[in-house]
Chain A
Amino acid sequence: MNADFTAEELAFESEVREFLGAEFPSEYRDKVDANIRLSKDELVNWQKILYRKGWAAPNWPQEYGGTGWSATEKYIFATEMGLIGAPEPVPFGMKMVAPVLMAYGSDEQKRRFLPDILESNVWWCQGYSEPNAGSDLASLKMSAVRDGDDYIVNGTKTWNTYGQYADWIFCLVRTDNSVKKQEGISFLLIDMHSAGVSLKPIYLLDGYPEVNEIFFDEVRVPANNLIGEENKGWTYAKVLLTHERTNISGVPRGKRRLRALKRIASDTDDGFGGNMMENSTFKNKLAETEIELQALEYVELRTLAALSVGKAPGPESSILKIVGTELAQKMDELFVELAAYNCLPFLPEQFEDGFQGNPIGPGTAASSALVYFNNRKLSIFGGSNEIQRNIISKAVLGL
């Protein structure tokens, strides 16, 4: 048993590290370090830098412009990206709709959509959840009724992350009410610029409208935007959800944040003449976090080892989702604890691009409560952690 990389893998690691060090724009890196959100243009620009290198889509097969990397190489790439703070591609196009297109789309649809996703010319968003269909996704109601060469779509989608940027949305829609709920669902691609589509921002606790509610009122959608067969959408959607759960452990990002915690703790006065790194209670909490990260990393590596000998990703990804998100939230608490009174001011604008005012508090301190609030989403979205526990309970423990 060994957990070492081969010489080739080590060489690849150096290559990735060197590339990211040189090409991830330093102003983006500064923003990420300062807890300032990257703009749409910046995210797209970064994605295009990766595209020009040929690294935009590590998870895609080579025939569509993917990298052809092994599972270990993908892991190395994701790790180096996380360690440097480079944002992963916005997942909705690259990691969600693209695999479905590849598996179930027509050749015409693949030609029409995949190149623009690879080049980040088109921004996608996800149309799954509805106000009354969250964890119980299959109870969704948005309807698509066939009318000649079109579907007429009516209904509401919600929690659409970055819907305000989106050109296209992939939706689960109901095309048959007369059958079991999972069997009447279809997978439909909708142009966000179509007549009858409107969007309402949802402000979250950190004061930012990261998600939206999207309303569809008699929207006419060409029937050739249907993926695969009518009423087979649920099967396609399940494939997508497995993809959503890869790379979710966030171990590299966790390591990076742990480094930040240690640095901030050393710079934070304990009020008694020492610093917070010398506070044994706080130091123990950092140690517990580091230990948890190590355990999680090895769960991930063992999953990876199984993948590289050809086993399919199983319900283990649910462990990564549960532990990864809860550990990230634990770290949010530690940032808040360190910031103390400095995280009380509610100043979302201080962490927006181009803030010109007089900042309050040192460094990122005033953003730590905002991050703590925002990251409560981690255990709710992408299949809530309760749903993940149901999956393990059913699929692993056989309960």
Chain B
Amino acid sequence: MDFSYTQEQKMLQESVQKFVQKSYDFETRNKIMASERGYSEENWQLFAELGWLTVAFSEADGGFGASAVDLILMMDEFGKAMLVEPFVPTTVLGGGLISALGSAEQRAEFIPKIMEGGLQLACAYAEANSRYNLSSVTTTARVNGDSVTIDGLKIAVLNGSNANKLLVVARESGARTDREGISVFMVDADAPGVSIQAYTNIDGKMSAQVSFEAVKVAVAARLGAAGRAIGALETVIDRATVAVSAEAAGALEAMLQKTVEYSKVRKQFGTAIGTFQALQHRMVDMFIECQLARSIVIRAAMKLDSADDEIEKARAVSAAKSRVGKAIRTVSQEAVQIHGGIGMTDEMDVGHLFKCVTALAMMFGDTDYHTARFAAL
């Protein structure tokens, strides 16, 4: 048994830590969020130089190895700093789908561009009535000779307004929730018939609602075999689920640390509020929650990297997301409560962490969804 990081992983972790500590404080983040694109393109190019954009890809595709443990180690630091750059949508979701479903030509065309920082992607899968069920797809793709026509509305498209290409999950055949008949198409964001309504999420990340009206793409824009994408989509979303669970675990630890620090300096009744046992025990419970969250995320990442059985992997992912969602509730609410009024203000980072983890709690399915999925698998 060995829970230590390899030398390579330690270097990756240090590189991310160094960046967020030196170049991503709360005020810098606020400036980035207020900028036109809502993320820093300069940072993105730096991520490419540092090799971070290769982490999600296999060595065969020229990447760092697509290890889930590598991924969570980065996401953890991103979570603490509330990073808004579209790392998950472009590399884990978009890149993940190309890598899982794409032909050799498609992989060779797009993956190097992603790793070089020259291609932004977004995955348009969720719909108004799909909730968290990935096989609930009403967006249609009608093939006519060499051309495909796409119609439908997608919600919660992370990075949708900054993406060059959208990976659109659409139905070629079957009923609304059938697992068969679902395909993924790569669509240019500026293709005629694509309208993008951009907005900022509660966690400061850019997102969009995207409608497709008679959007024409070539059949060659399909990733993988017609109507057979659901398995790969689930695998990719599972990996992203572990990524955001790690992001949340990092953010929760930041909230705990800030709460403990604040309780040592905030004085009421002539003493630091951290001396009150009623509050001490609650911070201890926050700590325990953080440890459970972190541990189950590590477990999920290890299973993704080493388990042979797909069901075992999926159960590990749902277990992690379910448990992290529970930890999010307790830790984030207690952090705000113990800060008091100041924790509710826009000026303090703890409140923004609260908003970040609230979003992460539902990303790719909330606790109830993943508990039910765990039980059903």
A207: interface (CB < 8 Å): yes
Q: A344-B156, A376-B336 are in contact. Are A360 and B362 (CB under 8 A)?
A: no
Q: Chain B binding site: helix, strand, loop or mixed by DSSP?
A: mixed
Contact with B along A340-381 (1 / 0, CB 8 A): 111111110000000000101110000001001100110111
- Compute how far the CA of A369 lies from the CA of B360 in the bound complex, rounded to whole angstroms: 13
Shortest Cβ distance from residue A370 to the other chain B in the assembled complex, whole angstroms: 8
Report chain A residues within 8 Å CB of B203: 344
A46: interface (CB < 8 Å): no
- Contact assessment for B278 and A389 in the assembled complex, using a CB-CB cutoff below 8 Å: yes
- Contact assessment for B202 and A358 in the assembled complex, using a CB-CB cutoff below 8 Å: no
Report chain B residues within 8 Å CB of A373: 202, 344, 351, 354-355, 358
- Contact assessment for A345 and B337 in the assembled complex, using a CB-CB cutoff below 8 Å: no
Contact with A along B327-341 (1 / 0, CB 8 A): 001000100110011
Contact with A along B318-329 (1 / 0, CB 8 A): 000000000001
- Contact assessment for A346 and B133 in the assembled complex, using a CB-CB cutoff below 8 Å: no
Shortest Cβ distance from residue A204 to the other chain B in the assembled complex, whole angstroms: 5
- Compute how far the CA of A373 lies from the CA of B356 in the bound complex, rounded to whole angstroms: 12
- Compute how far the CA of A129 lies from the CA of B340 in the bound complex, rounded to whole angstroms: 12
- Contact assessment for B278 and A344 in the assembled complex, using a CB-CB cutoff below 8 Å: no
Kindly report which residue of chain A lies nearest to residue B176, judged by CB atoms.
A273
A303: interface (CB < 8 Å): no
Q: A204-B346, A205-B346 are in contact. Are A271 and B136 (CB under 8 A)?
A: yes
Complex interface: stretch among A10-18, A133-141, A149-157, A257-265 = A133-141
Shortest Cβ distance from residue A5 to the other chain B in the assembled complex, whole angstroms: 38
- Contact assessment for A386 and B202 in the assembled complex, using a CB-CB cutoff below 8 Å: no
B3: interface (CB < 8 Å): no
B40: interface (CB < 8 Å): no
- How many chain-B residues does the 8 Å CB contact rule pick out? 49
Report chain A residues within 8 Å CB of B156: 341, 344
Contact with A along B139-156 (1 / 0, CB 8 A): 000000000000000011
- Contact assessment for A136 and B341 in the assembled complex, using a CB-CB cutoff below 8 Å: no
A266: interface (CB < 8 Å): no
- Contact assessment for A342 and B199 in the assembled complex, using a CB-CB cutoff below 8 Å: no
Q: A202-B345, A270-B131 are in contact. Are A358 and B197 (CB under 8 A)?
A: yes
- Contact assessment for B355 and A205 in the assembled complex, using a CB-CB cutoff below 8 Å: yes
- Contact assessment for B136 and A272 in the assembled complex, using a CB-CB cutoff below 8 Å: yes
Shortest Cβ distance from residue A268 to the other chain B in the assembled complex, whole angstroms: 8
- Compute how far the CA of A318 lies from the CA of B371 in the bound complex, rounded to whole angstroms: 36
Shortest Cβ distance from residue B153 to the other chain A in the assembled complex, whole angstroms: 11
Contact with B along A190-217 (1 / 0, CB 8 A): 0000000000001111010001000000
Contact with A along B267-288 (1 / 0, CB 8 A): 1111000000011000000000
- Contact assessment for B368 and A344 in the assembled complex, using a CB-CB cutoff below 8 Å: no
Shortest Cβ distance from residue B197 to the other chain A in the assembled complex, whole angstroms: 7
Report chain B residues within 8 Å CB of A384: 337, 340
- Compute how far the CA of A132 lies from the CA of B273 in the bound complex, rounded to whole angstroms: 12
- Compute how far the CA of A158 lies from the CA of B177 in the bound complex, rounded to whole angstroms: 53
- Compute how far the CA of A258 lies from the CA of B362 in the bound complex, rounded to whole angstroms: 22
Shortest Cβ distance from residue B355 to the other chain A in the assembled complex, whole angstroms: 6
- Contact assessment for A269 and B355 in the assembled complex, using a CB-CB cutoff below 8 Å: no
- Contact assessment for A344 and B129 in the assembled complex, using a CB-CB cutoff below 8 Å: no
Q: Which 10 A-B pairs have the closest CB atoms?
A: A271-B131, A271-B133, A136-B268, A341-B156, A269-B129, A203-B346, A345-B199, A346-B202, A136-B269, A344-B201
Q: A205-B355, A345-B200, A346-B204 are in contact. List 16 more A-B contacts (CB 8 A).
A: A134-B341, A135-B269, A136-B270, A204-B346, A205-B344, A205-B346, A207-B346, A271-B131, A341-B155, A341-B362, A343-B362, A344-B202, A345-B201, A373-B351, A373-B354, A380-B341
* 5 A-B pairs (CB sep. < 8 Å): A139-B268, A159-B341, A205-B355, A333-B329, A373-B355
